[in-house]
Amino acid sequence: MIARVLVDGQAGDRISVMDRGLGYGDGLFETIRFLGADAPLWSRHMHRLENGCRRLGLPMPGAGALLAEARAVSRELAQSVVRITLTRGIGARGYKPPTKPQPTRIVAAFDVPPCDEPAQAEGIRVRLCTLRLGVQPALAGLKHLNRLEQVLARAEWDDPTIAEGLLCDADGLAISATAANLFAVFAGVAATPAVDRCGVAGVARAQVLAAWPHVQVRPIPLDELRGADELFLSSSVRGILPVRELDGRALAVGPVTRALQSHWRELGF
Amino acid sequence: MIARVLVDGQAGDRISVMDRGLGYGDGLFETIRFLGADAPLWSRHMHRLENGCRRLGLPMPGAGALLAEARAVSRELAQSVVRITLTRGIGARGYKPPTKPQPTRIVAAFDVPPCDEPAQAEGIRVRLCTLRLGVQPALAGLKHLNRLEQVLARAEWDDPTIAEGLLCDADGLAISATAANLFAVFAGVAATPAVDRCGVAGVARAQVLAAWPHVQVRPIPLDELRGADELFLSSSVRGILPVRELDGRALAVGPVTRALQSHWRELGF
């Protein structure tokens, strides 16, 4: 039987209680959509992980070994989501990082979420979260393990007909959903919030920006967002999700959203 | 042989890779100084843990069971530091918290840090950290597992003669050290920064505030702090630490600091 989880390359699903990933959230992760042995956005995930390692001072594992491990855990699944977690490894008590960290590498395969074809076709309902994201340029953009803001925001609602929550920062700028990036279209021009003060620089977002280089990356105040002609979310797991309702206000699914959904399908998803 | 770590009451030092403490830093911790079987600040630690559980939506474990476990792991040590980590337990992938979480409880005993009598007597050197704490009222005050800010701040220096780093917020208010709270004395009046926008509400800080109810709790701009007559740090592990140098400027160890050190010793530390 093939292991579904590898810890440092070995079958096993447990880590030390002294791991700094547990103790301090001292690490990074990636959630990567696989289609059989292929992950169309693999190189973007590795690029972000490498950037995160550089900013946190972690050694980057070899991308070839990571890919082999991701394929090993997912190979019994026609489609899967592979989560790679990289921590600063075991350390003594205290915030000071070890001089030569031995990172812990966890590679785990999951089934893909249940089919969300209706969401893709008709769009999703999004509410406005009460929680505001804190501004922290030193961590902004990274997919690190300090995710209590997202946990608290996602705990704000339980209505299964609401798929996502919109997060603003303390200054009233719209930033993202709890687990997806945000795009808005104003008079035919697409824009996405900057993520240099808070938020995560999503891999699907990077793909959209590469495919459509004229998308504006800029601060988007919530008040401006409410006047958008189109809104959609991007997620490496869920793809391009049209927003059909924001905080009670109905929106049409427009041509820019549909064009990006086509692009997404062309990637193989 | 007595176990030094208990996970959910059982000997063992490993947890599941699916634990939300690892995945998202979704949990809380306490580091508690024990003198034999006694922890003079135990009830303050339990008070903070209970408050954290309420704010994060975690069930609080029975304090009696926690105390029994803390005593079990530490009973071979004349003095110890017991870390209690409480996470939201195992959950499916995704930020949404389980409706009925089964928290994971990790109780581990550590040796006390090497004797810092010179630090207690003469004071410590403190540098100013470049990293600024992000403002997040939803998490402020809690001793939660999202501690990357502290890790990055502590990684800023490697000089062993510098014991701590001063953290300010983005508005230039002095908040705390990386692993201790901060007190300043201005013309005989002691003050400590408010921790309702960022920072941790330390248990030693709570003890000082209870013992000296006239200490002001208020915003303290860095510029004002630089003019303080006395500065000291409070830590449940390290006690009351006089600051003899802040960012290159020498300070005298004054009478308020000495009086609080006496109070600390009277607690049994």
With cut-offs at 50, 70 and 90, classify the pLDDT of residue A241: very high
CB contact under 8 A, A95 and B153: yes
A51 burial type by CB count under 10 A (0-12 exposed, 13-18 middle, 19+ buried): middle
Spatial separation of the C-alpha atoms in residues A57 and A99, rounded to whole Å: 10
**Cβ atoms within 10 A of the Cβ of A255, count?**
12
Best to test chain A binding among B151, B168, B176 (most A CBs inside 10 Å): B151
With cut-offs at 50, 70 and 90, classify the pLDDT of residue B257: very high
Contact list in A for residue B146 (CB cut-off 8 A) is: 24-25, 146-148
Largest CA distance in chain B: 55
Q: What is the pLDDT of residues B33-57, one digit of tens each?
A: 999 999 999 999 999 999 999 999 9
pLDDT average, residue stretch A59-73 = 96
Given CB atoms, is B83 within the 8 Å cutoff of chain A? yes
With cut-offs at 50, 70 and 90, classify the pLDDT of residue A1: very low
pLDDT average, residue stretch B176-183 = 98
| Nearest by Cα to B186 from B211, B155, B215, B150 | B215
ipTM: 0.96
Enter the DSSP assignment of B227.
T
**Cβ atoms within 10 A of the Cβ of A115, count?**
8
Query: E strands within chain A?
Result: 5-7, 10-11, 14-16, 27-35, 79-87, 104-110, 124-133, 162-169, 173-177, 181-186, 189-192, 216-217, 220-221, 230-235, 239-246, 249-250
Q: Where are the domains of chain B?
A: 5-110, 117-266
Pairing of strands B216-217, B189-192: parallel
Q: What is the pLDDT of residues B77-97, one digit of tens each?
A: 999 999 999 999 998 889 999
Spatial separation of the C-alpha atoms in residues B33 and B74, rounded to whole Å: 10
Q: Helices A42-56 and A203-211 meet at what angle, rounded to 10?
A: 120
With cut-offs at 50, 70 and 90, classify the pLDDT of residue A2: very low
List the CATH code of the domain at B5-110. 3.30.470.10
Q: What is the mean pLDDT of chain B?
A: 96
- pLDDT of A178: 98
CATH architecture of the domain with range A117-266 = Alpha-Beta Barrel (3.20)
Contact list in A for residue B136 (CB cut-off 8 A) is: 133-134, 149
Phi, psi of A97 (to 5 degrees): -70, 145
